[in-house]
Structure 1
């Protein structure tokens, strides 16, 4: 196959396709160009609005991150203090409970001895 016949077929096919598209298009070329241009003009404000909202969102996220970085050490210190206070409070209660359990065990042992001596 020669290159010239290939290119000739390519040109004829392209021309036929172009003619078919133009004849089957629901709008004239002028109407189609106008429709595309008006759609593009309508999309520009929407795209600008999306850009503005995206920039606002980025600024808000950046502000939130900076605020979190600034507040984190303070919150961590407060949390550490709260845990220390809780540990001290529960330590006192734990000691009281252990003493009370020891007293109960001693009382039970005394009762067992008393019951054992009564049975004999």
Structure 2
């Protein structure tokens, strides 16, 4: 936020300095000079108004983007949780089969050890 304030302050100060330089260096009449000063003031005022509007639009776009991203993240999280649950259900029979086979291997090893001891 301070960068935009610095930018706006620079614009205002720059406008004021350019106005003073114009006053001091122009060989125009007072009426002509006032007209140009009024035109420059209007231009600067229009520029500041445009910057303010663009800043408001940018803020609104960022807010909308943040809201949409929250929705997307929730959807992705939900989909991911469902995929993990489906995967766990899918591997459960294989997991049980592996446990059973490991138990059988352990039993065979015990039998083999017993037969070697005798």
Q: TM-score of the superposition, structure 1-length normalised?
A: 0.50
Residues 72-101 of structure 1 show CA distances to partners (whole Å, capped at 9, x for unaligned) of 544433321111222322221111111111
Residues 92-114 of structure 1: per-residue CA shift (max 9 Å, x gap): 1111111111111110111111x
SS at match of 1:99: helix
What is the number of equivalent residue pairs in this alignment?
83
- Report the CA distance between 1:46 and its aligned residue: 2.9
After superposition, the CA RMSD in angstroms is 3.1
Q: Which protein is bigger by CA-based radius of gyration?
A: 1
Structure 1: stretches of 5+ with no match in the other structure: 1-26, 114-120
Q: Which residue of 90, 111, 114 corresponds with 1:109?
A: 114
State the match for 1:47 in structure 2. 52
Does residue 64 of the first structure (1) align with residue 64 of the second (2)? no
The 1-side partners of 2:89 and 2:102 are apart by 20
> Is 2:94 aligned against 1:89?
yes
Greater RCO (CA < 8 Å, at least 6 residues apart): 2
Aligned match of 2:26: none
Calculate the TM-score normalised by the size of structure 2.
0.51
